[in-house]
Amino acid sequence: MRTQAIKFKDGWYIKDLPGVSDIQKDTIMIDVAVAEQDMTELHYKQLRGLAATEQYMVKRKREDLRETDIGRNLEFRKKHGIVFKNFSEAMKAL
């Protein structure tokens, strides 16, 4: 499998690891391949990109996940003619 790892102050975050919910252990073994250009000092803009991603993850950790009323959502969609299955479909139609 292949995925991305993002560096934080206190370690690396591995995002979207396929099948992650099925893994029973807290520790897994991975092989790391670092490209040559990533070993050199990062350009400011690349660093900013990493910081932006880090901020995204920080905010995710602060999430307030409340219970969703699916019935209410469906009613809202019906009332306002939102017939799309997902956002991509909506973007194509809008």
**Cβ distance to another protein smaller for residue 30 or 75:** 75
Span interacting with another protein, options 26-34, 36-44, 67-75, rule CB under 8 A: 67-75
Tokens read off for 52? 């932006």
Binding of another protein by 13 (CB under 8 A): no
| Cα atoms in the 13 Å half-sphere on the side-chain side of 17 | 11
Number of residues in contact with another protein, rule: CB under 8 A?
31
**Cβ distance to another protein smaller for residue 28 or 91:** 91
Q: CA-to-CA distance for 87 and 51, rounded, in angstroms?
A: 27
**Cβ distance to another protein smaller for residue 11 or 71:** 71
Q: What angle do CA 68, 69, 74 make, to 5 degrees?
A: 120
Q: Which residue has the tokens 């995925």?
A: 3
Q: How far is CA 21 from the centre of its chain?
A: 15
Tokens read off for 86? 């997902």
Binding of another protein by 12 (CB under 8 A): no
- What is the binding site for another protein (CB under 8 A)? 4, 15, 48-49, 52-53, 55-56, 59-60, 62-66, 68-70, 72-73, 76-77, 80, 82, 84, 86-88, 90-91, 94
